[in-house]
Chains A and B, each alone.
Chain A
Amino acid sequence: MSDSALDMEVKAAPIKKRAEALSAVNRILRYSLVRIVMLFITVVIGIYLCVLIANMGGYVDEIRRGAIREEVSVAIFADQSPDIKSLTSEQKKELIEGRVALEVKRLGLDRPFIIRSFIFLKDAMTLNLGFAEQMVSDSGSKSVRLILLERLPPTLVLWGAANLLLFFLTLFIGLYLSRRYGSLLDKLTVALAPTSAAPGWFYGLFLILIFAAVLKVLPFGGMVDAPPPESKLMYALSLGKHLILPVSAVIIANVFLGAYNRRTFFLIYSQEDYVEMAKAKGLTDREIERKYVLRPTLPTIITQFALTIITLWTGAPILETVFNWPGLGRALYQAIGLYDTPVIVGSQVIYAYLLAFTVFLLDFIYALVDPRVRVGAGGRKA
């Protein structure tokens, strides 16, 4: 009797553990699902607002109507077929008006704005972004979606590299400094923290000046050498060389403030009673840091970092422009120069998606590291 009871207890332990793990996965999934739905609604509203802003006062419609008229009249005046050529200019004008009206109707431009705005919203959400007026994708297409999606990988490479590096750098420098509170390095970081007032592109100008213009050791900008190297290895090396300056610019602009914030945060947390308790128990410094300082602060750090990344995204167009990086931001800059409305509105949509995706990704990591989500207790902070 007693034997079997013991047996059952032994068996139950791993099952219980597994059940716990399962419910944790469940909670994380449910949490993520709720977040996805919330974010999706947020994205819909965000993009709708973008559409409204883009079309405030029907300005975009005006532009589109102008483009239609232009297209139609060019087509008619260039038409060499006898029955159109023989028309008088009066008749031609009438023909143009008729065709413009038809085209306007076909595109739904004659419907009330509310309905039109929802058509735009649906188009934007499904990335049905129309055709560029001037810009052409590398593959020769005028589709805004292709133009922008083609620019997405360079942007992700640049900002992925910069953000990852920044996150771990600030985390480890912050930890290191909190261990050596009051040292020269610590004081230096505190003193340098205000330099983060200037954004990355600003430091980028200096980096270009020093390393490209004066020392001539690194390229002025661009993503790979021209012509692009044939072999994969050389391509990667060339990409790496071009990444150095823009990534450094982002790092220089953010690392001091980031490290300073982390360090202050760790210092505050390492004064908590439970840390004192752990010290009294005689745990090693590393263990205390890992289990009692890093662990409880990580969710907050991730939330803070999410805000940093969002600010960095905002600065993307300008940094990419300064470094001639062939990403989304530069496409936006080129579109401004060419006054290419569909591309400008389209990149707006892509940026909204990117921001939402960033928020979701960090939320997901947050769910992974925050015990409150896993255990499912008092998870009010979301």
Chain B
Amino acid sequence: MSNLRELVRYPAAVVGLIMISVLIGVAVYALVALPYDEAVRLWRGGEAIWYNTPKKAAPVWTNWFREEDLPATITIDSADGAIAKTREQVSEDVTDIQFAYTFDYPYTTFPEDISIYFDTKYDEKPPHVSLTWLTPDGREIRIASMTTESTLVYRLDQDSKLERRLQLPDNVQSHMGLFMDPESEELVALPGTYTLQVSASVFEPESDVDAEVVIYGKVHGLAGTDHRRRDITVALLWGTPIALAFGLLAAIGTSVTTLVIAAIGTWYGGWVDALIQRITEVNLILPVLPILIMVGTFYSKSLWVILGVIILLGIFGGGIKTYRAIFLQVKESPYIEAAQAYGATDARIIFSYLLPRIIPTLVPNMVTLVPAFVFLEAALSVLGLGDPVMPTWGKVISDARVNGALYQGNYYWILQPSALLMLTGLAFSLVGFALDRIFNPRLRDR
């Protein structure tokens, strides 16, 4: 315990401990606020969950560093009841429904895209809808008229008729045409209040039209979105407990098993020791990452299977040689002889007398090992062998790399999970270094 109190004397260790506490805090928050099933649903749920977020949108905080803010996503749903609908019977069969979406668009940058998700009710004859766009400077643009089946999705940029009608230059998409400032020489959006008018004709008394308009922005949420419109925050949050659990379990698993093996080998000596030494040498030339890759490709990509294999491969790790050297010294100590004299069993000597003596070497080693495993998990994910279900930091980096985040300038996509990985690595590394100095005083005055 006094050793732990001593830790406070090292500023680097204090920083490391604070970083670890923050990470644990985030991990606990993720587990409580976003239960596992919910996280998996948000991460793997499909288009139905992600449809109203933009693709590859930067995090909101990037706006702090920009002179002009990038637009956030604007979503208005007429089914919410906030929009007044007028119904007017025109003839015996035809009823007109009119409503308008009015919204502020304070940006000079264009939005990413516009989609309209219809939700119409009818028995046989689907309603007919026409859309009109009113700009802040009073222009009126007819967008489209169409027959809307129950779940029609109207994507503005895919409408070739609209594109022809707007007569835009090649590099300008239809949705940009609607926001374009006609007075300006440059290609900028006109800030102000826009209105999208919907007028529908329904042909049945019970028939109704609702629509959700999504004007996709260029920033979204705390961490932005990826190529499948997923909110990266989910992966960043959930990656924390996974990375911590994986790193800690792997570090503890490998170092404790290695320690026990080393203790048994030194205590019994002879052929047991020789065998363990030879196995260690064989183990040294086993290519660990390729074996993990093989396991991942052929059997299972599950994080826990990989964890098990890592621990198995780590049992006869290089640490055995270090531990063995220390045990050989300890073995000759008088108190061990005393224990033998009063008839202690081999197991008792190994577990109660030998092992405790090595904790000063074990603890720093174990803490310093954690980052290696955290990064190993990330490495496997980058190679495309990440856990298929769980959202992890490595998988975000992998997605970003594969989808050209570096080439296209979506730097946030790679930088955020990397920053978290670095934070975890540094935190454990800092604490491990300090522990090493405390437990191994030979280094202390250095």
Contacts and interface: CB of A to CB of B under 8 A. Distances in A.
B426 A356 contact: no
Interface stretch (B168-176, B184-192, B348-356, B417-425): B417-425
A307 B422 contact: no
Contact of A348 (B290, B299, B371): B290
Interface in A311-331: 313-318, 321-322
B372 interface: yes
B287 A315 contact: no
Interface string B285-316: 11111110111111100000000000000000
Interface in B381-438: 382-385, 397, 401, 406-407, 409, 411, 414-415, 418, 421-422, 425-426, 428-430, 432-433
A234 B39 CA distance: 52
Interface in B58-76: none
Contacts of A212: 406
A220 B285 contact: no
A331 to B, nearest CB: 11
A95 to B, nearest CB: 31
A36 interface: no
Contact of B383 (A53, A264, A317, A348): A317
Nearest to A198: B425
A62 to B, nearest CB: 10
A38 B280 CA distance: 13
B99 interface: no
Given A213-B407, A359-B285, A198 B290 contact: no
Interface string A8-41: 0000000000000000000000000000001100
B90 interface: no
B286 A49 contact: yes
A337 B372 contact: no
A359 B283 CA distance: 12
Contacts of B297: 336, 339, 344
A341 B433 CA distance: 42
Contact of A197 (B287, B288, B429): B429
Contact of A317 (B290, B318, B428): B290
B289 A314 contact: yes
Contacts of B282: 42, 45-46, 49
Contacts of B318: 307
Q: A-side binding surface: helix, strand, loop or mixed?
A: helix
Contact of A202 (B16, B288, B375): B375
Given A191-B12, A202-B375, A213-B409, A59 B287 contact: no
A54 B298 contact: yes
Contact of B433 (A50, A53, A194): A194
A44 B410 CA distance: 47
B414 A205 contact: yes
Contacts, number: 141
B392 to A, nearest CB: 15
A3 to B, nearest CB: 56
A201 B379 CA distance: 8
The residue among B12, B281, B287 with the most chain A CB atoms within 10 A of its own CB is: B287
Contacts of B425: 197-198
Nearest to A56: B299
Interface string A189-200: 001011111110
Given A195-B426, A197-B425, 5 more contacts: A199-B375, A205-B406, A318-B379, A333-B383, A336-B385
Interface of A: 38-39, 42-43, 45-46, 49-50, 53-54, 56, 59-60, 181, 191, 193-199, 201-202, 205-206, 208-209, 212-213, 220, 264, 267-268, 307, 310, 313-318, 321-322, 332-333, 336-337, 339, 341, 344-345, 347-348, 351-352, 355-356, 359
Interface of B: 12, 16, 278, 281-282, 284-291, 293-299, 318, 368, 371-372, 375, 378-379, 382-385, 397, 401, 406-407, 409, 411, 414-415, 418, 421-422, 425-426, 428-430, 432-433, 442-443, 446
